[in-house]
Structure 1
């Protein structure tokens, strides 16, 4: 089983991925974690590293290529990242997690120790930067959700309910 989980920052993709790993014992590869690790290694915040990625496409291409290679080669894996649904050609289930900017900004501010307004501004800036890069590099309109099998609003359901929805989808495929 190959499951992709995508969504904007703070939507809950990582929480859902961790839930599924714990529940089903799948492996996990997360583009966001790779991106955050690279940003820290360059001693940059996410917005600044995003700007670097905007100027140097090798950053995104390396992350995306590695995620695609691992995701398509393994079974029983969760591939979590904004482009995962587009990159993993042999995915069994493609999931998009959504929530409002307001909701996501609060989650991000709690996670990153920022005030909600700063988190909202940085989130919007990051999303615009990423959307431009995805369109420029791959011709992907990140706002087009037609490729996804499930679109779930994490503002409506908590992680247990969201996980149960995905568990039902997994059971339906098996």
Structure 2
């Protein structure tokens, strides 16, 4: 089984992806963890590395190639990243998008990163603008197009104790035999 969990920073995707992977005994591969490791190796903060990636498209291509390869070659995996649903579109059994209002996400990020809410909000807005531009330029992906996802959840509305149960219920009720066939996402170019 291949599941994807995507969403913007502070949406709860990492927390929920980890719980979902544990519940179904899946390997949890986090694109964010890989990205932060690459940034740290090169001596950048994630925000600085995002901005560098605007100039050096190979950064995104390397990360995305790794995630796409995992999606196409490994079984029993949960991929978590902003683009996981797009990158694994041909292989994923289910694709989830998690989100929350920016104010809620900024509070969550501020708490986990020991920043002020204003700092977290500004950093998050800058990061999201950078990523949206890169995704559009590199792959012709509109990150705001949620039509490729099987389910979309507002984690602020449902809360941290309910969202994992909703995701679990969706996976448990999924019947691959009733799947009409996986259709690649139209108009997206994957050039690595």
TM class by shorter-chain length? over 0.9
How many angstroms apart in 2 are the aligned matches of 1:37 and 1:159?
Answer: 27
1:129 corresponds in structure 2 to: 130
The alpha-carbon deviation at position 25 of structure 1 amounts to 1.2
> 5+ unaligned residues in a row in structure 1: which ranges?
none
Which residue of 1 is the match for residue 96 of structure 2? 95
Q: Is the CA contact (8 Å cut-off) linking 1:12 and 1:154 kept in structure 2?
A: yes
CA contact (8 A) 1:94 1:148 kept: yes
Higher alpha-carbon Rg: 2
Task: Give the Å deviation of 1:91.
Answer: 0.4
Give the equivalent residue in structure 2 for 1:168.
Answer: 169
Superimposed CA distance per residue, residues 49-91 of structure 1 (whole angstroms, 9 cap, x where no aligned partner): 1111110001000000001101221121100000000010210
Contact 1:19–1:159 at 8 Å: present in 2 too? Answer: no
Q: 1:43: Cα distance to partner? A: 1.8
- In 1, Cα distance between the equivalents of 2:114 and 2:37? 18
TM-score where L is the length of structure 1: 0.97
2:34 maps to what in 1?
34
**Higher helix fraction: Structure 1 or Structure 2?**
1
Following TM superposition, by how much is the alpha carbon of 1:97 offset from its aligned partner in structure 2, in angstroms?
Answer: 0.2
Count of residues paired in the alignment = 174
State the superposition RMSD in angstroms. Answer: 0.9
